[in-house]
């Protein structure tokens, strides 16, 4: 087999390829590209690049495998060698079906993609529509959240590498589950990032919260953008994923007239047409900027969805009573009601946490509620707490059940964080495994500084470098079938089944939502067509008026609910779903 090797390295004066133990001189081409053609190399090849006078090779920026870690040689990978079995899979697109977010390393004891695939029957039975994997691209060390990745084209070898990833997606599709991959294009991790040696991938004088920004609009940025856009296509073409979650897009610094997100959305739409599939992009953003999900023909970027943290903050504050830091504006049922009706709480209003006005309104004639992905718990909102504690640590069954009804009956696209469905008692903490002691120490010290603004006790913050922090964060699957855990799991299954079968609960239009609440009595109702969700946030029983005509049928209740005379009696922290005429 004659192999061609190409690499973009405009910073280099000379380039050599080290492949299969041979050193080959590379020839310069146009626009900073270097080439070796017809290298007469067979099979899977370990290779790297020698830049200028270096004697130690560095990995390929587009490496598909790193069997010996991010500082080792790259290995070739042929994505077309896999025989797919998902020709019968028809992805539904972003249609309001529930998403299940998981971290491969802590989802199972083994922490691999093949082990996670062994839980797909469980997830299909639960009733979710999509499995969302936190970042899997190659990072330094053995375990990490995934946001310290440095080789965007490689799947972390400890998870099973690219072959295991293909098997996982194929297995998910065979069970009627779609796959969303979380990807990070706004920064690179602190160890193993050799990209600046090759070319101007980064803005070294323009940083964000995690370091240097990616060069999206500076000199030679055309090729950097192509590097990202082709990576986007890779996930869809080579791994058959159905959607991508784009991490922290507010950290993408791009002053071009054609923003990278708009270019990305257009590229994916064209690819979807080419593949005959419903592909989508979801942005993580705290900007409350409707432009992200506004169609391109209306001046927007044309992304399909975005995370909406205002829902989480309002739900969390009303469930727990926390009102410090960024929860300060959300500790009222009025705030929750506004989010349920309008999508954003801060839509131009003053944010006390930011000490300025924030956001702008969604256009209910343009946007639908399914475009907002919401959660009562996710990796950020648990892992970025001082102790990485879940709601389970502070709430009882009744309140956890109330949270589940609020989330899974919303008009938005609901997301569940792994273990939430059975009230996992294990924490989910921030963990790293940087081999460099100085980097590990700096990471731990940085975590302590981050929590100062939230007013959390620094003594509760576990050392992210301690291997036990990682082990503590693994799910304990023995909990799922016992006691209150099993009871909560049944409730999640029942709620997801109702979401699939009751048309009112899948209606995406903002205009068909009517929210009523009583701040003093702590009840809230959400009318959606002929179905009403009734929520009691009080620690005592409550009688709630129903905006429905008799006869009324209770479709689901979290505790004994009695409906008569145009009202329903709920127990403390009780919730019910009722239908009428």
Question: How would DSSP label each residue in 477-502?
Answer: GGGTTSHHHHHHHHHHHHHHHHHHH-
Mean pLDDT for 396-403 is 98
Burial class from Cβ neighbours inside 10 Å (0-12, 13-18, 19+) for residue 186 reads buried
| 1 has pLDDT over 60 | no
Q: What angle, rounded to 10 degrees, do the helices at 309-320 and 333-342 form?
A: 150
- Selected catalytic residue, list 60, 242, 284, 421: 284
Q: Residue 88's pLDDT is what?
A: 93
How many other CB atoms are there within 10 angstroms of residue 451's CB atom? 17
Cα–Cα distance between 496 and 556 in angstroms, integer? Answer: 11
| 73 has pLDDT over 90 | yes
Hey, what are 288's tokens? 């409350």
What's the chain's average pLDDT? 94
Q: Residue 205's pLDDT is what?
A: 67
Cα–Cα distance between 142 and 336 in angstroms, integer? Answer: 40
Cα–Cα distance between 368 and 305 in angstroms, integer? Answer: 10
Residue 473: name the closest of 160, 210, 144, 101 by CA: 144
Lowest mean pLDDT, pick from 12-16, 21-25, 48-52: 21-25
Does residue 284 carry a catalytic annotation?
yes
Residue-wise pLDDT for 96-116, tens only, equals 999 999 999 999 999 999 999
| 536 has pLDDT over 50 | yes
Q: What angle, rounded to 10 degrees, do the helices at 397-408 and 483-501 form?
A: 20
**Three-state secondary structure string covering 313-365:** HHHHHHHHCCCCHHHCCCCCHHHHHHHHHHCCCCCCEEECCCCEEECCCCCCC
Helix residue ranges per DSSP H, 43-160? 104-107, 113-117, 120-126
Residue-wise pLDDT for 466-478, tens only, equals 999 999 999 999 9
CA dihedral 561, 567, 573, 575 (to 10 degrees): 60
Burial class from Cβ neighbours inside 10 Å (0-12, 13-18, 19+) for residue 503 reads exposed
| 438 has pLDDT over 90 | no
Matching residue, tokens 């500076």:
218
| 47 has pLDDT over 50 | yes
Q: Residue 208's pLDDT is what?
A: 61
Mean pLDDT for 30-41 is 85
Lowest mean pLDDT, pick from 184-188, 287-291, 443-447, 505-509: 443-447
**Residues sharing a CB contact under 8 Å with residue 118, sequence separation 6 or more, in sequence order:** 108
The answer to whether the CB of 367 falls within 8 A of the CB of 536 is: no
| SS3 of residue 101 by DSSP | strand
Say what the pTM is. 0.96
Exposure string of 314-347, with b = 16+ CB inside 10 Å and e = fewer, is: bbbbbbeebeeebbebbbebebbbbbbbbbbbbb
Mean pLDDT for 69-74 is 97
Count of residues making up the chain: 581
DSSP 8-class letter at 422: G
DSSP 8-class letter at 184: -
| 149 has pLDDT over 90 | yes
Residue-wise pLDDT for 329-368, tens only, equals 999 999 999 999 999 999 999 999 999 999 999 999 999 9
| 171 has pLDDT over 80 | yes
Hey, what are 274's tokens? 């080419």
- Selected catalytic residue, list 60, 148, 247, 309: 247
**CA distances (Å), origin 305, targets 91, 244, 291, 371, 578:** 16, 10, 11, 4, 29
Using pLDDT thresholds of 50, 70 and 90, give the confidence band for residue 531: very high
Residue-wise pLDDT for 254-281, tens only, equals 999 999 999 999 999 999 999 999 999 9
Residue 191: name the closest of 233, 231, 140, 117 by CA: 140
Does residue 421 carry a catalytic annotation?
no
How many other CB atoms are there within 10 angstroms of residue 56's CB atom? 9
User: In whole angstroms, what separates CA 433 from the centre of its chain?
Assistant: 21
Mean pLDDT for 87-93 is 93
Q: 183 or 42: which carries more pLDDT confidence?
A: 183
Hey, what are 133's tokens? 């994997």
How many other CB atoms are there within 10 angstroms of residue 395's CB atom? 17
């Amino acid at each position: 087999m004659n192999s061609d090797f190409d690499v973009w390295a405009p910073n280099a004066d000379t380039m050599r390829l080290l492949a299969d133990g041979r050193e080959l001189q590379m020839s310069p081409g146009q626009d900073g590209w270097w080439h070796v053609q017809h290298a007469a190399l067979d099979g899977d090849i370990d290779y790297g690049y020698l830049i200028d006078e270096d004697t130690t090779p560095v990995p390929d920026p587009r490496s598909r495998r790193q069997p010996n870690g991010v500082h080792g040689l790259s290995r070739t990978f042929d994505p077309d060698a896999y025989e797919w079995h998902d020709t019968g899979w028809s992805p539904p697109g972003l249609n309001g079906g529930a998403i299940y977010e998981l971290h491969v390393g802590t989802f199972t004891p083994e922490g691999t993609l093949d082990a996670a695939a062994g839980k797909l029957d469980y997830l299909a039975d639960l009733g979710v529509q999509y499995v969302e994997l936190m970042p899997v691209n190659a990072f330094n060390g053995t375990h990490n959240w995934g946001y310290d990745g440095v080789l965007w084209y490689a799947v972390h070898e400890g998870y099973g590498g690219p072959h295991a990833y293909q098997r996982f997606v194929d297995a998910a599709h065979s069970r009627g589950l779609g796959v969303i991959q979380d990807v990070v294009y706004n920064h690179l991790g602190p160890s193993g990032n050799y990209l600046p040696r090759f070319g101007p991938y980064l803005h070294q004088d323009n940083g964000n919260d995690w370091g240097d920004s990616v060069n999206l609009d500076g000199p030679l940025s055309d090729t950097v953008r192509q590097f990202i856009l082709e990576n986007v296509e890779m996930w869809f073409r080579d791994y058959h994923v159905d959607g991508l979650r784009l991490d922290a897009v507010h950290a993408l610094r791009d002053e071009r007239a054609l923003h990278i997100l708009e270019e990305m959305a257009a590229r994916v739409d064209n690819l979807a047409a080419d593949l005959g599939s419903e592909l989508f992009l979801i942005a993580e953003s705290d900007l409350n900027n409707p432009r992200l999900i506004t169609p391109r023909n209306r001046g927007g970027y044309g992304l399909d969805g975005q995370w909406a943290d205002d829902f989480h903050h309002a739900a969390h504050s009303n469930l727990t009573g926390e009102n410090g830091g960024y929860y300060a504006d959300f500790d009222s049922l009025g705030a929750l009601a506004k989010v349920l009706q309008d999508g954003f709480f801060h839509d131009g209003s003053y944010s006390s946490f930011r000490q300025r006005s924030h956001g702008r309104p969604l256009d209910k004639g343009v946007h639908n509620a399914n475009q907002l992905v919401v959660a009562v718990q996710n990796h950020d909102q648990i892992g970025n707490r001082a102790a990485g504690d879940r709601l389970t640590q502070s709430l009882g069954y009744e309140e956890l059940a109330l949270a589940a009804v609020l989330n899974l009956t919303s008009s938005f696209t609901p997301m569940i964080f792994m273990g939430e469905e059975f009230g996992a008692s294990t924490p989910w903490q921030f963990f790293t495994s940087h081999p460099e002691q100085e980097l590990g120490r700096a990471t731990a010290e940085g975590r302590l500084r981050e929590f100062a603004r939230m007013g959390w006790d620094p003594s509760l913050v576990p050392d992210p470098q301690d291997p036990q922090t990682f082990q503590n964060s693994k799910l304990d699957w023995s909990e799922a079938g016992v006691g209150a855990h099993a009871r909560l799991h049944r409730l999640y299954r029942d709620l997801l089944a109702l979401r699939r079968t009751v048309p009112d609960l899948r209606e995406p239009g903002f205009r068909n939502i009517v929210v009523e609440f009583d701040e003093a009595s702590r009840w809230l109702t959400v009318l959606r067509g002929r179905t009403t969700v009734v929520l009691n946030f009080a620690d005592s029983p409550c009688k709630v008026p129903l905006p429905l005509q008799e006869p009324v049928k209770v479709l689901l209740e979290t505790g004994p609910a009695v409906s008569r005379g145009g009202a329903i009696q709920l127990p403390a922290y009780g919730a019910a779903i009722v239908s009428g005429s």
